[in-house]
Structure 1
Amino acid sequence: MTQNAKSARRTDDTDGAPRTTGMTLVVTGASGRTGSRVARAAEAAGLTVRPASRATGFDWEDPSTWADTLRGADAAYLVHPSDVGAPGSAEAVGGLARAALGLGVRRLVLLSTRGEDQALPTEEALRASGADWTVVRAAWFAQNLSEGPLAEEVRRGELVFPAGEVREPFVDVRDIAEVVVAALTGGERYVGRTVAVTGPRLLTWREAVAEIAAAAGRPLAYRAVPARDYGEALTGFGVPREEASFLVELFETLLDGRNAHLEDGVRQVLGREPRDFADVVREAAAAGTWAA
């Protein structure tokens, strides 16, 4: 076992509890929705965070940039920049995992998507790498409606999306981050495990937008469209046709109702119930996120 692998498993001399002092965590996507929260949660837990992005010289598409970021670290949080099931993601994650192992970084946590068949090859690539892996499969982020392009649509007054009337247990990304950090600092407890995380209740996208409208104090609408029509809209917005085709396939499967149930991962790992969608809505509305 390498020295880095040993440090990732340090235990307290008196009670055997995992010790995080001195542990360095590489966080890919550190400026993104989950990565930024993972970084904050890791720092709060006493870890040293090493951001990995193009701004710091790391590029998922350029393996020659990986070693400088990984060298000397104890663990890494992996989030693929496009989608965990996108073409090329399995090769990228598998390659990065093998590079990490070669540098003594054995402890890896991958963010995946609950119910996404396209993500399974990427998860398998991580497992096959020989790393001490954990996969965190997340429901749709609650913050997707308060940050990014979908939030912009809501702010304009109408969310157009191919989710029909399917129910989704939107998960707060802060819960994802805390689960990731707990998995990384929990010793052997979560090695070789897949943890599925959701929010505490099911909502249709129409109901979610209605809760936002009530909190924002303004009328907001949701309009369901077929995935194929949504794909045509994406290409009209300038999304490359190959990427739009992937998203159509993804939405046709991921939003078919397969995820209309709750998972217990947050409570199992953190010992508490997950935050409710209403928590995100209340805070975002107070910050003026959806103000006209």
Structure 2
Amino acid sequence: MIIENTPNSENTILVLGATGKTGRRVAQLLTARGARVRPGSRSAAIPFDWTDRDTWAAAVAGVDAVYLSYQPDLAVPGAPADVQAFCGAAVAAGVRRIVLLSGRGEPEALECEALVRDSGLSWTIVRCAFFAQNFDEGAFTDFILAGEVALPGGNVPEPFVHADDIAEVAVAALLDDRHHGEIYELTGPRALTFAEAVAEIAVASGREIAFVPLTRAEFVDTLTSYGVPGDEVSLLDYLFGTVLDGRNSHLADGVRRALGREPRDFADYARDAAKSGAWTVTADA
């Protein structure tokens, strides 16, 4: 088991996407370990907005390390230019370390990884499989609540990764120099198809939840009917049409290498999410 260095209370860690799935967890873990955290979001005391570069200088001022979570995803147009410009602002501000949240199988994400590696900052790459939490904190939550999950690619296995594992690896990299220069590819301990994942959620929640395979066009129409924002619809269409085509079905050992333990299993995720009430349907719903 890796023992991390004690955080220096004078150093500040900027957590971008501090209200998101991983950023929120990273900020909580860092705070619990005595680190000084600066939340990076549009609503923060020192606001940060990826679409407004005028906010960047103040956000990185006096910061020692950064957790870089790009919104909405490194696969969207303009992400490499933003990442390169942000790294330049971080270097100019005296930032020492950066941890990049990246995605598996995305050419655009690989381009962003290369920019971070060449930035002059001490870096760690956290390259992740599809988040398990997309079923209870993301676009598929309403599907689960409705009792029918309609998605394309139901027969393609994906080794869903738990957001808590991502956060723990990121925090280790932010607090310990031994993770410098490492690329940690994170997956769960087994690969499940989306149909199998939905079946495990049904068991954990004690509800009947059907999986319905769709074409990509039908998927886009369904997301739109649920009121999912257009940029998120486009991103999910891209992911299911390209990245979730089987290229990422293999398992990786990033959690074990970074933390010295096995990753959390999808069944554990489903059980905990069900216990939290994430998929409980109220009488007036």
TM-score w.r.t. the length of structure 2 is 0.90
2:14 to 14, 26, 30: 26
Report the counterpart of residue 100 of structure 2 in structure 1: 110
Work out the CA distance in 1 between the residues paired with 2:249 and 2:226: 30
SS at match of 2:140: helix
1:265 partnered with 2:254: yes
Per the alignment, do residues 237 and 277 of structure 1 end up closer, same or farther by CA in structure 2, a change over 3 Å counting?
Answer: closer
1:41 to 4, 16, 29: 29
Work out the CA distance in 1 between the residues paired with 2:200 and 2:179: 35
Contact kept in structure 2, 1:118 and 1:250, CA below 8 Å: no
Alignment of 1:195-210 (within 5 A): 195-210=184-199
Alignment of 1:1-292 (within 5 A): 18-22=5-9, 23-56=11-44, 57-187=47-177, 189-234=178-223, 244-245=233-234, 247-292=236-281
Map Cα deviations across residues 232-265 of structure 1 (whole Å, 9 max, x no partner): 4445666677775554333222111111111101
Q: Percent identity between the aligned chains?
A: 50
Work out the CA distance in 1 between the residues paired with 2:154 and 2:212: 8
Work out the CA distance in 2 between the residues paired with 1:247 and 1:147: 15
Contact kept in structure 2, 1:91 and 1:125, CA below 8 Å: no
* Aligned-residue RMSD, C-alpha: 2.0
What code does the residue aligned with 2:191 have? Answer: L
Deviation at 1:193, TM superposition (A): 2.2
Work out the CA distance in 2 between the residues paired with 1:17 and 1:76: 17
Could you tell me which runs of 5 or more consecutive residues in structure 1 were left unpaired when the two chains were aligned: 1-15
Work out the CA distance in 2 between the residues paired with 1:38 and 1:169: 21
Per the alignment, do residues 255 and 180 of structure 1 end up closer, same or farther by CA in structure 2, a change over 3 Å counting?
Answer: same
Contact kept in structure 2, 1:167 and 1:204, CA below 8 Å: yes
What code does the residue aligned with 1:272 have? Answer: R
Deviation at 1:40, TM superposition (A): 1.1
TM-score w.r.t. the length of structure 1 is 0.88
Could you tell me which runs of 5 or more consecutive residues in structure 2 were left unpaired when the two chains were aligned: none
SS at match of 2:278: coil
Work out the CA distance in 1 between the residues paired with 2:26 and 2:35: 11
**How many residue pairs get matched?**
276
SS at match of 1:76: strand
Map Cα deviations across residues 106-155 of structure 1 (whole Å, 9 max, x no partner): 20111011122232222222223222111100111111111122111111
Per the alignment, do residues 42 and 89 of structure 1 end up closer, same or farther by CA in structure 2, a change over 3 Å counting?
Answer: same
What code does the residue aligned with 2:112 have? Answer: T
Contact kept in structure 2, 1:213 and 1:219, CA below 8 Å: yes
SS at match of 1:160: strand
Contact kept in structure 2, 1:74 and 1:104, CA below 8 Å: yes
